[in-house]
Amino acid sequence: MFRPTLFRGLSVDSADLSGYELDRSRRASLSAEQRRKLSLLRTSSIPSRLKPVSHIYHLVPCPRKCCNQKYVVSTDRSGDIHVHVQGDLTQQDKRCVFLTVHDLGTNHSSMVDFVNSPAMSEIKERSCFIHIDVPGHEENSPDLPDSYQFPSLQTLGEDLVTVLDFLHIRYAVGIGEGAGANILARCGLAHPRRLLGLVLVNCTASTSSVADAFRSRFSRWRGADISQSEEDFLIYHKFGHQISSDSCEPNEKDRMLAEYRSRLRGNLNPHNIKLFVRAFINRKDLLLKGCRPDILLITGTLSPYSSVIEKLYKELDRDRVTILKVEKVGDVLAEAPAKVAQSLLLFCQGQGQLTSLPPPGVERRMSRAMSMEEYDKPNIRRLSLTPSVADSPPHTKL
């Protein structure tokens, strides 16, 4: 059974770890600062020939029971990050591994809903998904303490590699929406060898616009609860012009708004949501030019960031970036999952992943000499700079 080690860097054969163990319930109750001090204390007691302890991890049950496992990973600068694993990581050598980050006003549940949509069923069967909760966005989270400095999008992106290291993930395909897409893009820039590709939904590369700054000053982001103006900002960020468009039926529009408002006022902490919004508004420019992982940009014509994403697409290398623009849609993951799933499949197959699935509209064909399991194994030959002679196709005589 897959069981990550608790203390990375310690060798069981070369040292007695009994003195460094801590009861699981006590470890879960410690604050991030207490765990950091405990880590430093352990480090000072470890013999010099061992690698110092840099992080502490613990396993907790998933409250929604939508994922196989949930971990809390302590990072160097971003504090605790809650990680939800959907799928069997013991099969990661034969599966495509996705790393997802959610948008403002939600958490990993939005990504879980997309993965569980019928259009994603075949991809889901052959993949593992690692869903990230931005600090303070796990369900029923308490207020982040005043002493905690909420990390910037850049810091969050750079710290995501800690999660990949902990779960022993060699490489993954990133899927991010909105602010989460911005975070994943920064992760791909900082750690290009760990992300095969980036699927960025409504990703804004420029700094906060004048309109965003005006909304932040207008709402002021004060108080313990989400005010009406703050809620309006998040609704516009999520759905854009889809709410005012005639293409959306009134009943469908009411359903979407009611569902989104229930999430905002449900198990998410409004104080922590505001901290994430501030980090998004204060974001720095995202320089994707020269990004090594391939990029799939996704947006809808009714998204508030549609024109921004089109501009970004024109600025990037066409050999490494593809764009999907869905007509009459603002929230593409919820309203057009089938089109997103088709583009996602083609994009992953371009990275040598999910090669057992036929492209959309193509009948499935499988050689009798290869099993389904062998078809699902990721093809990483494209990562080799000098392919072997055995991998080269035979010469044909004309």
pLDDT at 263: 76
pLDDT at 387: 44
Q: 252-273: per-residue pLDDT in tens? A: 777 878 888 777 777 889 899 9
Q: Are the C-beta atoms of residues 341 and 123 closer than 8 Å to each other?
A: yes
Pairing of strands 96-101, 127-133: parallel
Average pLDDT of the segment spanning 73-82: 93
Q: 27-52: per-residue pLDDT in tens? A: 445 555 555 554 444 333 333 332 33
Candidates 245, 216, 260; CA nearest to 110 is 260
The DSSP output letter for 87 is: S
**Residue 382's pLDDT band (cuts 50, 70, 90):** very low
Candidates 297, 94, 98; CA nearest to 194 is 98
pLDDT at 13: 35
Q: Are the C-beta atoms of residues 327 and 301 closer than 8 Å to each other?
A: yes
Work out the mean pLDDT of the chain and round it to a whole number: 77
Tell me the residue length of the chain. Answer: 398
Candidates 205, 258, 259, 260; CA nearest to 237 is 260
Residue 4 φ/ψ, nearest 5 degrees: -65, 150
Question: Is a pLDDT exceeding 90 seen at residue 72?
Answer: yes
Candidates 60, 59, 279; CA nearest to 156 is 279
